[in-house]
Chain A
Amino acid sequence: MATMRNARPSGLGSKLPVLVKALAGAVAGATMALSAAVHAAPSTAEVNTTNLAVTDDKVTVGILHSVTGTMAISETGSVQAEKLAIEQINAMGGVLGRQIEYIQEDGASDWPTFAEKSRKLLVNDKVAAVFGCWTSASRKAVLPVFEQYNGMLYYPTFYEGLEQSPNVIYTGQEATQQILAGIDWVVKTKGAKSFYLLGSDYIWPRTSNKIARKHIEKLGLKVVGEDYYPLGHTQFNSIINKFKLKKPDVIFASVVGGSNVAFYKQLKAAGIDMTKEKPLVLTISVTEDEILGIGGENIEGAYASMKYFQSLTNDNNKAFVKAFKERWGDDIVIGDVTQAAYLGPWLWKAAVEKAGSFDIDKVREASPGIELTSAPEGYVKIHPNHHLWSKTRIGNAKTDGQYEIVYETPELIEPDPFPEGYQ
């Protein structure tokens, strides 16, 4: 119990000095790097032929997330990760000798606002790239704007797939990468034979469960039930009774938002001890961020299938977690999407440097094949379909709110946003 308490954010007061220190460090690093880089920087006319917000020593990018409204819970981590990446890049000398400046806009958890703000970023501010969006609904809302004005969006969330825009780089996993490996693992190591699919009622859980069902049936196993509850639903006693009646080996859960907290608390209260794995709970929607609200003691024993967990032990991740905590406070936790958001600025930097230009078309051309060996999740590479090659890991939730990693796919999984036969 004591460790749980320490893991919680404890208010604003303690974060201020950290913030000031980190800023001062970033500025000092930046000036040093700047003086060294001035001679090397190519001329602005050369790297910017499309009138983007690039000057001789600066390039402006946009950050577009909800910091107010329902989605602020989830999107705050992404904003923090993107700012950290930008500060680190600046401290290393920036991109093509230019320091990155960002303009942050608030999507306010409202999809038309996202579209309006993205238009502002692209048309008025002429930003060279935008890091942002979280829900599929917000991404769908800004997509026409990015395609009309030819912007570049780095989108961090794991999502349902079925999309591939020339103006978006998807740094999270698409559904097949996340789901197939998870189901294969639970079948192979736990001998699971029957599944109950449960989700919140919108596009991502429905598509994910469609993919899951197809795969489960292809393996010759059984789906004993499939259920959806409205977003924000808070009463799960009926579905828990259905679990008790149907006795599935695995509950495959993609419940999101505040519903998550209600679901796991009520599951525990109903006497289902997830550590006994009867039934085993496999989720694709609960990152370390969500566990803060659920409480580690309420979700202990559940498994999650994702590409990143804060507890990864590689050196990249150790450095990332350390930097993140120094920048944003010791109490913070880092979930899958936060790490994917952190990749955005780095992938963009690598593409710009490969292209030798900030022009969107050239960056797009340079993007496929871009590798990042310094990614906290290990190694990632951009596929020609604008998604990332990545590994999938299985984590087992512990009371302290962290996942213990019990499995990792041996190879990088190829992104497949339009899986055949799964649609």
Chain B
Amino acid sequence: MFADYSTSELMSIFAMQGFAGLILFSVFVLMALGLAIIFGQMGVINMAHGEFMILGAYITYLTSNIFADHMPQLFGSYFFIAMALAFVAAGALGMLVEWALIRHLYHRPLDTLLATWGLSLILQQLYRTIFGAREVGVTLPDWLMGSIQLTDVIEVPINGIFVMSLAIGISVTVAALMYRSRWGIQVRSVVQNRPMAGAVGINTAKVDRLTFGLGCGIAGVAGSAFTMIGSTGPTSGQLYIVDTFLVVVFGGAQSLLGTIASAFTISQAQSSMEFFLSGSMSKVLTLLFVVFILMLRPQGLFSLKVRR
């Protein structure tokens, strides 16, 4: 397959392919972080994760329209405001859902799966009623379009760089929150031993609500960023949910590092296979690979050792 190409051409293609893998990795990290926080720290399986992402995407759509209508001169920078709004909106909805629905189900983890699945259906229909069944097109500022030409052949998409920086930024923020802040200590102690954490004066209900809100907020930011690379419609969230769960479960539910390692493994495996095989076949092989590893290590790549 490579016989007809010069070495420099091949090098450039491999460089670009490596970059494609990194973009996929960033997308996976953004998708999975919010879910990993909720699933890992609270044991809640949030089937409505994709719908929280799409809420972020719709907020971006609305913000872009408002900016285009009222402040066209600031259109270039609307994306940052949209992401902030997406975080607030998705986070607020997350806290509301936690208060109204999830907190009654903490002792029944499987029921949270059903309840949040129902919630995802409700949200989908809500989006359909408000925004219509058709997909909406989000107009991006010009500086986010196009690519940077490095050499004759190597071109790096700008939105890819943007998604990568965002993924790094959010991962670092979450890690800092988790391991350097008071709230992080509280979360981790609630995860390790809920009754004991309560006994030493931690308000476990409040910690739960904030954790759920943060996870949903990050989903909203991810959804906002994905308007650059994907579609925005009532059911678009479903496109991401399977990959998201795959990354989280493979990485080991309670470890943020595991989530990142798993996103890296899956994205690199998938993107290099995609290059040599057809898209469908590489998906099949990726899934088989994950199933095989999980048979050997049911707890996922990384797991927290806790005395029960």
What residues of chain A have their CB less than 8 Å away from a CB belonging to chain B? 1-2, 4-5, 8-9, 11-12, 67-70, 72-73, 76, 201, 226-230, 232-235, 237-242, 244-245, 257-262, 265-266, 268-271, 289-297
Contacts and interface: CB of A to CB of B under 8 A. Distances in A.
Given A4-B139, A72-B133, A258 B233 contact: yes
A261 B19 CA distance: 21
11 contacts: A5-B69, A68-B125, A68-B128, A73-B233, A76-B134, A237-B271, A244-B13, A258-B231, A265-B228, A269-B146, A271-B149
A258 B68 contact: no
Interface in B254-301: 271, 274-275, 278-280, 283
Nearest to A72: B133
B143 interface: no
A334 to B, nearest CB: 13
A19 B239 CA distance: 34
Nearest to A257: B231
Contacts of A258: 135, 230-231, 233, 235-236, 239
A228 B274 CA distance: 10
Nearest to B226: A234
B238 A270 contact: no
Most buried by B among A230, A238, A265, A268: A238
Contacts of A201: 279-280
Interface stretch (B20-28, B77-85, B101-109, B206-214): B20-28
Given A235-B27, A237-B271, A229 B280 contact: yes
Contact of B134 (A265, A293, A295, A296): A293
A230 B283 CA distance: 8
Nearest to B137: A295
A237 B139 contact: no
Interface in B141-165: 145-147, 149, 153, 155, 157-160
A200 B35 CA distance: 28
Contacts of A76: 132-134
Given A262-B230, A293-B134, A5 B271 contact: no
A69 B235 contact: yes
Contacts of A266: 157, 229
Contacts of B68: 1-2, 5
Interface in B195-253: 226, 228-236, 238-240
Nearest to A199: B279
B147 A269 contact: yes
B170 interface: no
A7 to B, nearest CB: 9
6 nearest A-B residue pairs (beta carbon): A293-B135, A237-B20, A261-B231, A229-B279, A238-B274, A72-B133
A244 B128 contact: no
B164 to A, nearest CB: 12
Contact of B158 (A2, A229, A240, A269): A269
A269 B20 contact: no
A266 B140 CA distance: 13
Contacts of A294: 137, 231
Contacts of A2: 68
Given A230-B280, A293-B136, A265 B153 contact: no
B17 interface: yes
Given A234-B229, A258-B233, A241 B133 contact: no
A268 B145 contact: yes
A111 to B, nearest CB: 16
B139 A1 contact: yes
B20 to A, nearest CB: 3
B119 interface: no
A2 B72 CA distance: 10
Contact of B135 (A73, A235, A237, A244): A73
A242 B235 CA distance: 29
Contacts of B278: 226-228
Contacts of A4: 137, 139
Contacts of B9: 245
Contact of A73 (B20, B24, B133, B137): B133
Contacts of A235: 20, 23-24, 27, 229, 271
Nearest to A290: B135
A269 B159 contact: yes
Contacts of A259: 231
B115 interface: no
Nearest to B75: A1
Nearest to A75: B133
B97 to A, nearest CB: 22
Contact of B137 (A72, A227, A293): A293
Contact of A262 (B20, B131, B155, B231): B231
A292 B133 contact: no
A70 B238 contact: yes
Nearest to A266: B229
Contacts of B149: 271
B178 interface: no
A265 to B, nearest CB: 6
A260 B231 contact: yes
Nearest to B2: A245
A93 B204 CA distance: 70
B155 A271 contact: yes
A316 B49 CA distance: 47
A259 B274 CA distance: 16
A239 B277 CA distance: 10
A294 B238 CA distance: 18
A221 B133 CA distance: 41
Given A238-B275, A270-B155, A261 B230 contact: yes
